[in-house]
Structure 1
Amino acid sequence: MLTHTSATTPAIAAGREPLVQVRRAVKTYGPTKALSGVTLDVHAGEVFGVVGHNGAGKSTLMRVLSGLDAIDSGSVQIGGVSTPAERGFPGVRMAYQEGSLALELTVYENIYLSSKSWIPDRRWHGAASRRAMARLDEIFPDHVVGPADYVDDLTLADRQMVEISRATIADDLRLLILDEPTESLSGSAVDHLYDYVRKLRASGHAIILVSHRLREVLSVCDRVAVMKDGAVVSTHAAGSVTEQDLFLAMGGEVAIQKTGNGARPTATDSSRPVCVKVPMTTVDGAATQIVAHKGEVIGLAGIAGQGQEQVLDRLWRRNGDVQASAALAYVPGDRQRSGILPIWDVARNLTITALPSLSKNGIRQTEKENALVAEWVERLKIRGGASAAITGLSGGNQQKVIVARAFASDADTILLDDPFRGVDVHTKAELYQLIKSEAQKGRTIIWYSSENSEMQHCDRAYVLRAGRVAGELHGRDISDERIISLSFAEAREAHA
């Protein structure tokens, strides 16, 4: 078992007072205790990682540190200030996992709203635009965002770039909080972000990184705190632990067993009925198609933004000569924008697509609805229960509800658009098992993931590049190496 480990970052070795000091912090929401006595220190000039399963209290702690939420007991002190002002603690900025941008406004208007103290009121349009582009260019040199672009028109990745850049535009920045910043970003954007994080650390800023991507956490952080059930259970020097150590500290023994290579499926019997056909072309222009048989789990792999989501959209809308099952269910990739119904509770969010099959002569049968909700809440261990407000759940538990909504319907084919973005390893293990068991019942699942390792849970995977099929992988041939190879191979090699 892991023990509490001391760290030796330069900021700590110098004996300086911690920039952030949290002592026995408790925060409750109704009957739920989100924080149950958190104690931690964060120093200037270090990158501090926070990991833990969904519902462990990570996002609540970050909201407390940003000044959005007040604790019920204990103390929080940042830079010597123990009571946040109206706009939060001085010098603290946060990039939120779910985003905090006003979708109906432009990029420069969003920057101005959150940075009025550093942008002059006179001719603010130009000043805000210049600030926005300068920071986007600095952090993400490959971006394609314009200052006059409306946020609602941006891709999820572009919105995340603006969200992160917005958080850094502050003349008094001392602490930058990044809550799952890379879940929507591609590989190059992730690298650029962490290069900027290291630059901030070198200039004496403190950075708190909350992420489920443990490899990234260990590569960029100086120390890592593990949270469980609303408390920090251990803190470690990043160089002294491995990903598996952190899994174990989070209580990940079961998840490790479930996600090991031994669980990878074998190829599906091609004699089963064909449920899905999507006409495509190969990277060198030849006609081909994406095919899925009854009971198959089909992956759409490759670098993000190469047409995977367009394939799902074609299926959902049945565009062109696409062949699909009569009954489809769709789990969207943008949970906040297209997934949850924020004014409803868990039960109504979960049952909305199943209502036709639960009604009789057009009349709702509440007993059946309640039974269905109880079954899925128990099956996926949805924290908070059926009557909880959907917006009060952690991101991972919200995602469980959205996935349950799809599988609780009578759909024969389930479309998954990067469904486990921002979900912890334990929740992922539960949902992988759900996909496997539902496929065994005869359901067909078409699954896009931005994480290549997740494709190893598929029967077959089509690797896409620039909207075309670069190759098809079967069973145990599905690997990070093969997917990457096909993603970058020359056309003649991919076709071969």
Structure 2
Amino acid sequence: MHVDNLPTGSVSAPPQGGPQPAGRQPVVTARRVAKTYGRTRALAGVDLDVRAGEVLGLVGHNGAGKSTLMRVLAGLEACDEGAVAVGGREVPPGDVGPGATAFRTVRMAYQETSLCPHLTVAENIWLSSRHDLPRAGWRRAAAAAVRRRLDEMFPGHAVSPRDRVEDLSLARRQMVEIARASLVDRLDLLILDEPTESLGPDAARSLYDHVRRLAAEGSAVLLISHRIREVLSVADRIAVMRDGAVVAERTATGLSEDEVLTLMGAEVAAPTEPVAPATGSRPQRRVVAELRGAGGHGLHDVSIRVGAGEVVGLAGLAGQGQQEVLERLWRPVRRDTTVEGARAYVPGDRQRSGVLPLWSVAENLVVTAMRGLSRYGVRRRAEERAAVAHWVERLAVRGGADAAMTELSGGNQQKVIVARAFASTADLVLLDDPFRGVDVHTKTGLYALIREEAARGRSVVWYSSENAEMAHCDRVYVLRAGRVVAELTGAEITEERIIAVSFAESGSDPESEGAPR
């Protein structure tokens, strides 16, 4: 269990280095920081200043070292080489780890939340902020504090301090994680690791409004995200990481998305236009999965059909029934649902339902393919190794087949989970926001992978929180409040059209988990 550091004391004078903008002295400084995990060199001599009153955007490929650097800057892990200074004071190697006094003014919100799932929201707040809360009546004080902060950050969040974390949706858990990280009397640096990957557009806008207020009040915010446009819209400065080092720093004003992608590596500047479905006349597709007026469990008279070799998208604001459709197709136990053949499922919450953390990359990847690779029920190790090598190379999984899953970045973990589904013999692959936390270069390859698998006759049903991704589908169903409100095909499938349909007739259900009101 991780308990965050808490603020005490004052920030000392910054180190005497190069010129700094007035009022923006470094609150945390890294110099020649290196970190190695086994055979993986995660950081290779990082130099970085995070300054008071600024939003610093940190971008880079999956596995570039961003999350490792954040853990070092937050004082959760010691660096193998180099030094970290907080408030101008170099941190001794022994003053690192949960509870380290030197990092009490630094807080971090994790991409994969650090909350205790079996405790309530208020109890989680007590664990991380107990030094700032009264011992008598702590439960009431923790509940009031988190409710107030959630109201500030995410109006209409619909989270109760009495809710158990495990009962919250992924989006609401992320809201609590971010609010928890900011609940301190004094905050010099707030680190946000992919904060909006689980949030809808309204919640993301509310969060970034709060980030701007924090910076205006003098706190520093370090923002990690693969959503380059979002980073550019809120950041004052951009730092680019590649192969474990910061390779460029730029002022965000006037910087374009293409320029950032080029700094991340020339290969990502390749066109990322949708891989268009094949055109021309086609025979009528055989229906392999169908919902016929499905109801119950968040659905209201939903009718959806999936043809052989077809990529079907589920679009709309987050939490409008998309996951319920995927769940119904995954477990077709009702008479209103019919599914032919085997199925594979890529869950949206990889930590709870996707990753097998005690297993290696190879074991995670091949577990669903064993039956297809075996002969007469006997495993064929050579075929398994060949399949693992193929997918590790095809998706460029950093760390390789023998790496432990816990050593991988979130994006590389997601690659393994996606590969596991497509390595199986499933006729129907169900994808719940599969590219959450995946860099733009990898996304382009995965889009092509989906189209290639569809061309071979495999069917895909795909929900994405990014409506622009739906352009890679043959057909898209837009859901609102558990109902299908539009079926789009061909040229109709545009981000603008999906958004217009999603907000038509007064918008989404206020209980939508990703679009708070």
In the superposition, the TM-score normalised over structure 1's length comes to 0.93
Which residue identity is paired with 1:221? A
Letter of the structure 2 residue corresponding to residue 37 of structure 1: G
SS in 2 for 1:25: strand
Q: Distance in 2 between matches of 1:287 and 1:237?
A: 51
Aligned to 1:32: 40
**How far 1:290 sits from its partner (Å)?**
1.2
Among 223, 230, 243, the alignment partner of 1:209 is 223
State whether residues 47 and 206 of structure 1, in contact with CA within 8 Å, keep that contact through their aligned partners in structure 2. yes
Aligned partner of 2:392 among 336, 352, 377:
377
Deviations 1:332-385 (A, max 9, x none): 000111000001111111111112222233322222211211121122111111
2:68 is the counterpart of 1:65: no
Report matched runs for 1:290-439 at 5 Å: 290-320=304-334, 321-439=336-454
Cα distance in 2 for residues equivalent to 1:338 and 1:286: 26
RMSD over aligned Cα atoms: 1.9
**Deviation by residue 1:169-221 (Cα, 9 ceiling, x = unmatched):** 11121100000000001111111111111111111000000011111101111
Alignment partner, residue 170 of structure 2: 156
Please tell me the residue identity of whatever aligns with 2:390.
E
**Is 2:55–2:220's contact at 8 Å kept on the other side of the alignment?**
yes
Q: Do residues 143 (structure 1) and 151 (structure 2) align?
A: no
1:286 is displaced (CA, Å) by 10
Do the aligned partners of 1:264 and 1:476 also contact (CA within 8 Å) in 2? no
Q: Is the 8 A contact 1:303 1:450 kept in 2?
A: yes
**Aligned-residue offset at 1:293:** 1.1
Distance 2:234 2:200 in 1: 17
What one-letter code is carried by the residue in structure 2 that aligns with 1:300? L
Spell out the pairing of 1:93-172 with structure 2 (5 A cutoff).
Answer: 93-172=107-186
Q: 1:68-115: per-residue Cα shift (whole Å, max 9, x none)?
A: 111111111111232245524120000001110000111011000011
Structure in which a larger fraction of residues adopt helix: 1
Distance 2:302 2:140 in 1: 49
Aligned to 1:76: 84
Contact kept in structure 1, 2:321 and 2:480, CA below 8 Å: yes
Q: Secondary structure at the match of 1:19?
A: strand
1:85–1:383: structure 2 CA closer, same or farther, 3 Å change rule?
Answer: closer
Bigger CA drift: 140-149 or 317-326? 317-326
Which residue is 2:49 aligned to?
41
The 3-state SS of whatever aligns with 2:195 is: coil
More divergent stretch after superposition (134-143 vs 175-184)? 134-143
1:218 matched to which residue of 2?
232
Q: Give the secondary-structure state (helix, strand or coil) at the position aligned to 1:385.
A: coil
* TM-score scaled by length of structure 2: 0.89
In 2, Cα distance between equivalents of 1:280 and 1:378:
43
1:220-299 residue pairs with structure 2 within 5 A? Answer: 220-254=234-268, 256-257=270-271, 259-261=272-274, 263-266=275-278, 269=282, 271-280=284-293, 289-299=303-313
Task: Give, in whole Å, the separation in 2 of the partners of 1:280 and 1:449.
Answer: 23
Amino acid across the alignment from 1:241: L
Report the secondary structure of 1:68's partner residue.
Answer: coil
Paired amino acid for 1:316: W
Aligned-partner Cα distance in 2 for 1:269–1:303: 31
What's 2:500 paired with? 485
Q: Contact 2:262–2:269 (CA<8 Å) still a contact in 1? A: no
For residue 272 of structure 1, report the CA deviation from its aligned partner.
Answer: 2.2
Shift in Å, 1:16: 5.0
Q: Are the structure 2 counterparts of residues 288 and 126 from structure 1 closer, same or farther at C-alpha, using a change threshold of 3 Å?
A: closer
Secondary structure class of the residue paired with 1:36: strand
Relative distance call for 1:449 and 1:255 in structure 2 (3 A) is farther
**Distance (whole Å) between structure 2 residues aligned to residue 373 and residue 222 of structure 1:** 42
Query: Matched residues, percent identical?
Result: 59
Give the letter aligned to residue 13 of structure 1: P
Unaligned runs of 5+ in 2: 1-18, 507-517
Would the aligned equivalents of 2:26 and 2:88 in 1 still touch at CA under 8 Å? no
Shift of 1:477: 2.0
3-state DSSP of counterpart to 1:115:
helix
Equivalent position amino acid for 1:97 in 2: Q
Question: Counterpart amino acid of 1:14?
Answer: A
Q: What SS is found at the alignment partner of 1:244?
A: helix
Whether contact under 8 Å (2:23, 2:53) holds in the other structure is: no
**Cα distance change on mapping 1:336 and 1:201 into 2, 3 Å:** same
TM-superposed deviation, 1:265: 2.2
Distance 1:286 1:217, change over 3 A: closer
Cα distance in 2 between the residues matched to 1:339 and 1:318: 20
Gaps of 5+ in 1: 1-10, 492-496
* Count of residue pairs the alignment pairs up: 477
Work out whether residues 264 and 475 of structure 1, in 8 Å CA contact, stay in contact via their aligned partners in 2: no
